[in-house]
Amino acid sequence: MNYTALFEQIKKKKSFLCVGLDSDIAKIPAHLQQVADPVFEFNKAVIDATAGVTIAYKPNIAFYESRGVEGWQSLEKTVTYIRQQYPEIFLIADAKRGDIGNTSQMYAKAFLETLNFDAITVAPYMGEDSVTPFLQYPEKWVILLALTSNKGAFDFQFREDKGVKLYEAVLRKSQEWGDKQNMMYVVGATKAEMLGGIRDIVPDHFLLVPGVGAQGGSLQEVAKYGMNSHCGLIVNSSRGIIFADKTEQFAVRAGEEARKLQGEMEILLKEKGIL
Ligand SMILES: O=c1ccn([C@@H]2O[C@H](COP(=O)(O)O)[C@@H](O)[C@H]2O)c(=O)[nH]1
């Protein structure tokens, strides 16, 4: 999916919501634990309840690969289901990969070709040759970790060299490798106040923003500092939507939580003049 198609989806759905499929098998409602593939059945119900107001899904790969072969099967079935039922939706593998060049090539093939995701999250710290193999796929995206939502972000990402913070150096240097058509950046909603400065460096790129919902980030603050004339934001919520309820009503509640966020997003898009 290209930049224009993504923006068209945002306008059509009046939403820049990404639902995170962090489908921890231990948290899946009891009544689904007996079926053949509880994670897939859970995902399917959440997807059907939220697809109308969602532009992207982001399975976090840890919740699948931790279960071995069965987990990979749940993931593959989930991707196939979304591709068949909701082909307009943008699919992000939150895998946080990146290694020496020939290994990155295999990670890229695994997620962008074999599993057919639209995008993959990549850690930038091994540099150019670890990132560029992911950029060889037309209409696929690298989402580079820039400023993460967690407390540990302060350990390295704010370190300064000649007045430039490490996450700023990531934003600047990586623009030599890709552009707004194939590269996005992760910026945590918990660091929304830094988004103004980030927009000075990457005014046009899409940003994937996790941290709204369970981590307490504010959607309004994210939009205030981070929204550009093409929206430029994909805001993720995982636990706040998929585990809003742990009873047989989980999908209904997931749909309600997703619609609530979409309603707030619609207001923000209108305020910005995008709708
Ligand atoms: O800086 C980052 C980068 C990635 N994530 C991921 O996003 C989701 C957030 O889940 P919630 O349940 O909505 O908190 C999860 O998959 C993280 O691994 C992030 O939170 N922060």
Which parts of 119-183 fold into alpha helices (H)? 128-131, 153-156, 166-174
Tell me how far the alpha carbon of residue 162 lies from the centroid of ligand 1, in angstroms.
30
Q: Is 217 in the pocket of ligand 1 (CB under 6 A)?
A: no
| Closest protein CA for atom 11 of ligand 1 | 238
Distance CA 250, CA 210 (A): 21
| Closest protein CA for atom 19 of ligand 1 | 210
Q: Which of 23, 238, 242 to mutate to test the pocket of ligand 1 (most atoms within 8 A of CB)?
A: 238
Nearest ligand 1 atom to the CA of 22 is: 16
Tell me the pLDDT band of 49, cut-offs 50, 70 and 90: very high
Q: Look up the CATH number of the domain holding residue 252.
A: 3.20.20.70
Per the listing, tokens 């927009």 go with 199
Average pLDDT over residues 104-119: 98
pTM confidence score: 0.98
Q: Is 208 in the pocket of ligand 1 (CB under 6 A)?
A: no
Distance CA 164, CA 152 (A): 19
Q: Is 186 in the pocket of ligand 1 (CB under 6 A)?
A: yes
Average per-residue pLDDT in the chain?
98
Average pLDDT over residues 168-177: 98
Q: Which of 22, 50, 57, 218 to mutate to test the pocket of ligand 1 (most atoms within 8 A of CB)?
A: 22
CB of 142 closer than 8 Å to CB of 184:
yes
SS3 238: coil
**How many domains are there within the chain?**
1
pLDDT in tens, 57-90: 999 999 999 999 999 999 999 999 999 999 999 9
Which structural domain, as residue segments, surrounds residue 248?
3-271
**What's the token pair of residue 272?**
């910005």
Question: Which pLDDT does position 166 carry in this prediction?
Answer: 98
Average pLDDT over residues 235-258: 98
Q: Which of 185, 236, 241, 243 to mutate to test the pocket of ligand 1 (most atoms within 8 A of CB)?
A: 236
Q: Is 124 in the pocket of ligand 1 (CB under 6 A)?
A: no
Nearest ligand 1 atom to the CA of 239 is: 12
Question: Which pLDDT does position 48 carry in this prediction?
Answer: 98
Question: Which pLDDT does position 261 carry in this prediction?
Answer: 98
Tell me how far the alpha carbon of residue 169 lies from the centroid of ligand 1, in angstroms.
22
Question: Which pLDDT does position 226 carry in this prediction?
Answer: 98
ipTM above 0.85, yes or no: yes
Tell me how far the alpha carbon of residue 107 lies from the centroid of ligand 1, in angstroms.
20
Question: Which pLDDT does position 209 carry in this prediction?
Answer: 98
Tell me the pLDDT band of 205, cut-offs 50, 70 and 90: very high
Question: Which pLDDT does position 128 carry in this prediction?
Answer: 98
Q: Kind and range of the H or E element at 117?
A: none
Please give the span between the terminal C-alpha atoms of the chain, in angstroms, as a whole number.
21
Nearest ligand 1 atom to the CA of 149 is: 1
Question: Which pLDDT does position 222 carry in this prediction?
Answer: 98
* Catalytic residue annotation: 96
pLDDT in tens, 12-35: 999 999 999 999 999 999 999 999
Question: Which pLDDT does position 164 carry in this prediction?
Answer: 97
Name the percent of the chain lying above pLDDT 90. 100
